[in-house]
Structure 1
Amino acid sequence: MSAPARLRAIVARTWRAVVWYVREVSGEARYEHYVERFTREHPGEEPLSERAYLKAREEHERLHPNTSCCC
């Protein structure tokens, strides 16, 4: 593999890692994790739509606030 090809591979791998990290930290990947787990634990059943999932999650967070200190 030539040096430019190796460099492109390193940059691409680094970019994928940064995108993965940002999606995990921001919570953007939560729905995908929910679908993966739901599919594994409830085969043959239909998971909530992304909109319904976000609404249910918001309702749960409203009813169960995290009052612990973040520091």
Structure 2
Amino acid sequence: MSAEPLRGLRGAWRSTGWLLRGVMGADAYQRYLEHHARTHPGTPALSEREFWRERMDWQDRNPQGRCC
């Protein structure tokens, strides 16, 4: 078996993982850090724990279309 089909399969798997992380919100902290670095340089970012606490609190205060 040549390496080309395996390379394509690995790429598809990575893309699927990236999509699922985005849909589930698992990449939210990383996106926050990137946004914070662009828009607020020189100021400390929230820790991951603080970020998730604020995110959950915001979602509780602003319920949107979600199942639970």
**Aligned residue among 50, 58, 67 for 2:56:** 58
| Cα root mean square deviation, aligned | 1.9
Q: Aligned residues: percent identity?
A: 31
- Unaligned runs of 5+ residues in structure 2 are none
Could you say what secondary structure the match of 2:2 adopts? helix
Size of the alignment, in residue pairs? Answer: 67
- Unaligned runs of 5+ residues in structure 1 are none
Greater RCO (Cα-Cα under 8 Å, separation 6 or more): 2
What is the CA distance between 1:47 and its match in structure 2?
A: 0.8
Distance 1:69 1:53, change over 3 A: closer
Q: What TM-score results when the alignment is normalised by the length of structure 2?
A: 0.85
**Greater radius of gyration (CA):** 1
- Residues 1:39 and 2:29 are matched in the alignment: no
Which consecutive segments of 4 or more residues in structure 1 shift more than 2 A? Answer: none
Distance 1:5 1:35, change over 3 A: same
- Residues 1:29 and 2:19 are matched in the alignment: no
2:5 corresponds in structure 1 to 7
